[in-house]
Structure 1
Amino acid sequence: MSAPADPGDPADSAGAAPPGDRDAQITALTGLVETLVRKLRRVEGKVNELTAKPPAPAEDEEDDPAAPAAWVWFTPPAAAENDPDGEEDPRFTVDNFAAWYNVTFVGVDGSRARPIPPCWRQHPGLAMEIAVLAYSWRAANIGPNASERDAQQWLHQWRPGFADRLTRDWVHSDCLDGDHRDGGAAARADRFELADQLASEASSET
């Protein structure tokens, strides 16, 4: 007694050819091959689905070194680093940060969250603090390496510490009110001003 035919067998679906009938045998074989091809195509489609890679991001979707992180609520200050091929230097970054700080992190009357005074460049210790404050803010909040933990640490540690030293260590109350008063370390040219002076002197000698 012969075994029952497998309904999924391609030979069955093509039909059996009578022995000795060559044309019928060719037709049966052709049907068998077509069935196998269809099955192979289905298998190939499944394999392609399982091994498919996500499309590569377009160039404009790649990590932008100047893009603010999702938690940066307001438009960040412009910086020289946003255009490495530009002519701006870090003074541009720090100047813009100081202006941005003064419209963002000023507290209620009587608090220590006072605006950075216009004379900050004339107080060397304060100028150093503001430059570091600007770049530490950028590191925590701008570009693909921005970190919400670092941003929170900046808000929790760096900014309050700076606000305290601003009013306690670096400037007189007159400076905070807009009237510069000398005190502490004497004002001096920063390294960018010195470089500009040297370049100017060198060009005048030629």
Structure 2
Amino acid sequence: MSDSYGETGTTADANAEIIADLAAELEQLAAVVADLTARSSKTRKSEPEPPPRPWSWLPMPHTEKADRLAELGDWLTQVLFAWPHAERAILPCWMRHWDVIEELSMLYCCWKTAYLWDEATASDAAQFLDHWLPNAVARIEVRLRPCGQGHHPDRPRRDDAAALGPVVDKLRWL
């Protein structure tokens, strides 16, 4: 039998060659589509990343508190003490004052938001430098002033529960 290509079997060979060429082209197109998809997903963000969250010290397990306190100490040494006023204001006993730790934690969160968060703007850094940093350092300086005079909070935290109980009971009775 003869076909349009002349000899028998030539059509099958031609079809096989066309299919092989199409398969190669399809493979190249798939690679191009995969590359474009990867590039598109890198440039297009589906949802903005949330800003860093502040730490809540009270419910935190002790091991996590230790890790976070170490992280905070590293940040103080490596970053915050680049501002001489901060280094002078934050006395070496800062880690014995939970109110100061809270203040420094907030400042650390603001710094991470301004400098490490992907969505940060120059305005975030300006707000950190103009507002958060000087105000936090001023508050810490006031809180630590007694320690510069030899005072340290080594006593246990005051617990007013016993004195508060009767007052609360009386108010509920009224």
Given the two structures, how large is their TM-score scaled by the length of structure 1? 0.44
Q: 1 or 2, which has the higher helix percentage?
A: 2
Larger-gyration structure (1/2): 1
* Higher RCO (C-alpha 8 Å, min separation 6): 2
